[in-house]
Structure 1
Amino acid sequence: MAAHMDAETDDDILHVEDDYYTFLNISRDATPEEITNAYRRLSKTYHPDKHADPLSKRDAEILFNKTRKAYEVLANPHKRAIYDTLGVKGLDTEGWQVVQRTKTPQEIREEYERLAREQEERRLQQRTNPKGTISVGVDASDLFEAYYDDDTRGFLPQMEINSMAISQSIEAPLSLNDTVTLSGSLSTQNGNGSGNIVCSLRHVVSASTWSEFEIGAGNGLLCGVKGFRTLSNRSFASAQGMFQVTPVGLRPGGNLVLARQLSKHTVGYLTWKAGIQSSMNTTVIWDTSYGHFFGVPNTFVMVSYTYKFPDEGRLKGSIKVGTFGAVVEYGVERKISQHNTVGATMVIGIPTGITLKLRLNRATQSYVFPILLSEEPLPSAIFYGTVTPIVAWYVLQTFVIVPYTRRQKQREAKRSREANATKLAERKREAEAAVCLGLPLLCLLCHGCEESTHPVLVTLRGGELRAK
């Protein structure tokens, strides 16, 4: 959190922007009349036609153009609102429609290439929408449940990968209403593997209705049809029918889902599944901005709570009790960058055992590592499964994330200083030119003071000359 705040502070310091209010010598709540008067006053002082010396004429032209630019922004209510909120960078729509004249041709070319590359990446991301998940199951129960009667046991505990699953999907829009999705998955557990590949075509009939046809292969040919329709403002329905070709014949199946929003924070689902594993499920979900919900699906009851931290993290916990036993889960997630999120969850179940789930989300890709610590609810497994991720996160943040962020900030500061060196020199030259251009008028006023019998106070501030 501190590193994030420091980065934002450094960005505010390193990016040098023109202050149009200071240049016109007016307050930020100045009226349109005050802005116009300041513009007219400075335009008379900095107009190039009033200076005969070539050097002064060039400086006056620079200051006159800057005065006109400041007036164009502050005199326009829309541009002024954007400038007051976002600064000069807010006036730069899409990043490159307005190019600063102080940039060299090489800098303009590099800026254009960078923005074009980012735009192409966003377009590709939006068109393909790739999603992927990698899950690797690790059996580390030998750490807490060692079998000492094993003759082949060594000095170190044995850990093995007992399962692995990979899934990936991409989309290919054919038109505004038709989209093709190609997805595939592979999984293996205890030496037995399976996989499938599915191609689907979704057609959007209207704003409230869509249909989908899919065909796949894996453990036999699979064909299916899906449909979705919004029934009212508070309810919708979806239906799916499929059949799979197996060595023993056709295996049909289907499901029907009806959902309705019962209140502001409550939604009810009624699900009917037909086929080999036919069932009827009723689910009630209560959700608020704090992330609470309560469900009663099938033959178990679950209560879950999520607390969201201000610094882009959240703490979650749940209790599930049913005919199969009981499961207690608690964990934490933390966003470490714009596209990266890490999390750790402890799952304590009877009789499922104790499992530590580590998760890394990078954009649309997910990496999950469920680690089996014990098949029984041992206190030592619970303690180390809870403390180890906390210590590991502290070490990772102290020795990896913070140094990396610091180096990134130093490189960004160096680039910003180099980029702002020319701009700072130009602003210094403009200030010197403003003083030089205001001196003749100051001398004229002082000469008038010598001939006057009344005291006159002359001040020169920010390019504005006043006599009292």
Structure 2
Amino acid sequence: MDLDSDDESIIEEDFYSFLNIPKEASKEEINNAYRRLSRIYHPDKHMDPSLKAKAEVMFNKVKRAYEVLSDPHQRAIYDSLGTKGLETEGWELVQRTKTPAEIRAEYEKLAEERAERRKNQATNPSGNVTIAVNATDLFNPYYDDLIDDEYESDFISGIPNIEVSSMQFSQSVDFPLTQKDNCTLSGQLQTQNGTGQGGVNLGWRHIFSHKSWAEMELTAGSGPAVSFKGFRTLTKRFFWNGGTILQFTPEGIRPGIMSTLAMQIDKHSVGYLSYHGGIRSLFSTQLIRDTEYNRYNFSIQVGLPHSHVLLQYTRKMMNQELKLRIAVKAGTFGGVIEYGAEKKISKHSNLAFSVVCGVPSGVKLKIRLTRASQTYSFPIHLCEEIMPAPVFYATVVPLVVYVVVKKGFVEPFLKEEKSKKVEKQKQNNYNKLVEKRREAMAAQDLMNATYNRNRDEESNKKGLVIIKAIYGRIMRDTNQQHGDAELSSEVLDVTIPVQCLVKDSKLVIHDRTKSELPGFFDPALGEEKMLHIIYNYHDQPHEVTIADNDSLRLPKTAHRTNIT
């Protein structure tokens, strides 16, 4: 359940989990599940008036789940929209005139149209802020010989001179005109050493098909300019993009041209061949190989003002939430070695830092924060020469600051925010949770006869006997012995319903939330939940713990313990 969404904070019934069948279950599997639960919950199976009243409630739930999933039309609606779709009026005509496949297709089409409308309504803003800092005085202090006063000189020399050397800001917004036409308005502003310049761009792009588009852009700022760009898929493996620019200056029109031909070498590799002509002429070739865990980038550039060779490697770790990078670049400007890391710090934010050691540029520390479509960059020039001290501090200080900020501020803040959302979720679902708990206890009462019979049968043939089963927020210390799981107060004893799921000395629970199984409910809403089972098979002790949405099949040899 997504705690970030208020729309999803209300608990919905999961018919597949309730019947303990997979989402792709066949008609026969649905019928078998219905018959199995009917033998437990049918009111005619219970003579006691209080149990009969509970059985009527549970049997109505069984019948409701069966009626929806056994009807192809209702099942298609439920699969697409959940129970809220079943409560919508006007589906009678759809059910009579469309097949399940057509219903699914119609929902997918409507969903795509809604997504497209939302996209068209949004301006898709994106921006970039770069603030360059000159901190070379930290390691290469500069003394002004013109200062005669000894006290003043000592006092001033003790304070490093750190200044902002340049700033750059850019922002753009989109204005969709039609399904195939899009307008973009963007602006840039740059300042360096007290002087600056800027510009405003207005672009219009027309999409001819999924294979080609064309774009025209007008620029005002440091002289007006007009450019034309285009993209075209040539074959299954080749595509091209390029264009031309005409810049109007007092000296006349300055033309420029750019062209890139790309080739899909294999599933993970792409090669590029580019040419830029005009004021700055250069020719470059680039090869990129991007796999699940590695990314390689090799490029050669020849032209003005510089020529260089670049080799870059990126290692992706922790499901791509952490990336380690190293790059080597050498050319007519000198040489550079860059290493760093990028970490995903939230759902929409990435934080990256890198250390650049170059000749003759010296040592730089680059920090970049990406938040959605906004990027904030802070290149800090530490030293004009490569020295051990700035390299050490540039490497260690960001790591220490990251750990301190994360442990001291970010994690407590996120924990508090999560607690607030969980509490809000519990408040929104309070009545539903009370009802779910009541239903679970009623279901377990109704299962007693089935439980005793099933347990006795399995015990007599030394089959699968559930000793203890608990569900909820379970914490286990990996250094503890088996059977020493640490329990929180947010757990539920589900020994009875789990034993009732045993059939012919086998137990199968599918990969859906366990909270919707008969006899279960969610005792720890918004928290990670687990199912812990201790069982005997052939009089041998076994134990297993699984996550809430994991599938489970018992018995397994791997679950055997050494407890006698």
**TM-score bucket (shorter structure):** 0.7 to 0.9
Query: What residue in structure 2 maps to residue 375 of structure 1?
Result: 384
Higher helix share: 1
Query: What residue in structure 2 maps to residue 457 of structure 1?
Result: none
- Once the two structures are superposed, residues 235-278 of structure 1 have per-residue CA deviations (whole angstroms, 9 ceiling, x without a partner) of 12223122112122222222222232345554333323222223
RMSD: 4.0
Query: What residue in structure 2 maps to residue 186 of structure 1?
Result: 189
Q: CA deviation at 1:423?
A: 2.9
Query: What residue in structure 2 maps to residue 110 of structure 1?
Result: none
Query: What residue in structure 2 maps to residue 282 of structure 1?
Result: 284
Query: What residue in structure 2 maps to residue 45 of structure 1?
Result: 43
Distance 2:437 2:238 in 1: 65
Change (3 A) 1:97 1:189: farther
The answer to whether structure 1 residue 251 and structure 2 residue 234 are counterparts is: no
Query: What residue in structure 2 maps to residue 302 of structure 1?
Result: 310
Q: CA deviation at 1:231?
A: 1.5
Q: CA deviation at 1:21?
A: 8.0
Residue 242 of structure 2, aligned match among 239, 243, 248:
239
Query: Does structure 2 conserve the Cα–Cα contact (< 8 Å) formed by 1:238 and 1:256?
Result: yes
Query: Does structure 2 conserve the Cα–Cα contact (< 8 Å) formed by 1:213 and 1:226?
Result: yes
Query: What residue in structure 1 maps to residue 81 of structure 2?
Result: 93
Aligned to 1:145, the other structure's residue is in SS state: coil
Q: CA deviation at 1:23?
A: 6.3
Q: CA deviation at 1:36?
A: 3.2
Aligned to 2:301, the other structure's residue is in SS state: coil
Q: CA deviation at 1:19?
A: 7.5
The answer to whether structure 1 residue 140 and structure 2 residue 135 are counterparts is: yes
Query: Does structure 1 conserve the Cα–Cα contact (< 8 Å) formed by 2:41 and 2:56?
Result: no
Give runs of aligned pairs for residues 61-76 of structure 1, distance below 5 A.
Answer: 62-72=57-67, 75=70
Aligned to 1:220, the other structure's residue is in SS state: coil
Change (3 A) 1:17 1:145: same
Query: What residue in structure 1 maps to residue 544 of structure 2?
Result: none
- Once the two structures are superposed, residues 118-145 of structure 1 have per-residue CA deviations (whole angstroms, 9 ceiling, x without a partner) of x899925874221100000111111111
- Once the two structures are superposed, residues 49-82 of structure 1 have per-residue CA deviations (whole angstroms, 9 ceiling, x without a partner) of x9998x9897565334312233246657999999
Aligned to 1:377, the other structure's residue is in SS state: coil
Distance 1:359 1:186 in 2: 19
Aligned partner letter, 2:270: V
Query: Does structure 1 conserve the Cα–Cα contact (< 8 Å) formed by 2:74 and 2:86?
Result: no
Distance 2:274 2:440 in 1: 73
Distance 2:58 2:79 in 1: 20
Change (3 A) 1:63 1:267: closer
Query: Does structure 2 conserve the Cα–Cα contact (< 8 Å) formed by 1:46 and 1:437?
Result: no
Residue 354 of structure 2, aligned match among 337, 342, 345:
345
Number of matched pairs: 405
Query: Does structure 1 conserve the Cα–Cα contact (< 8 Å) formed by 2:30 and 2:66?
Result: no
Change (3 A) 1:371 1:96: farther
Give runs of aligned pairs for residues 63-462 of structure 1, distance below 5 A.
Answer: 63-72=58-67, 75=70, 93=81, 97=85, 123=118, 127-150=122-145, 151=147, 153-279=156-282, 281-289=283-291, 290-298=294-302, 299-311=307-319, 312-430=321-439
Q: TM-score, normalised by structure 2?
A: 0.63
- Once the two structures are superposed, residues 196-238 of structure 1 have per-residue CA deviations (whole angstroms, 9 ceiling, x without a partner) of 0011111122332211111110011111111222211121222
Q: Give the unaligned 5+ runs of structure 2.
A: 4-8, 89-113, 148-152, 451-495, 501-564
Q: Give the unaligned 5+ runs of structure 1.
A: 1-6, 9-13, 83-89, 101-118, 443-460
Distance 2:301 2:83 in 1: 50
Aligned partner letter, 1:285: L
Aligned partner letter, 2:173: I
Query: Does structure 2 conserve the Cα–Cα contact (< 8 Å) formed by 1:236 and 1:259?
Result: yes
Distance 1:68 1:365 in 2: 51
Change (3 A) 1:210 1:155: same
Change (3 A) 1:76 1:159: farther
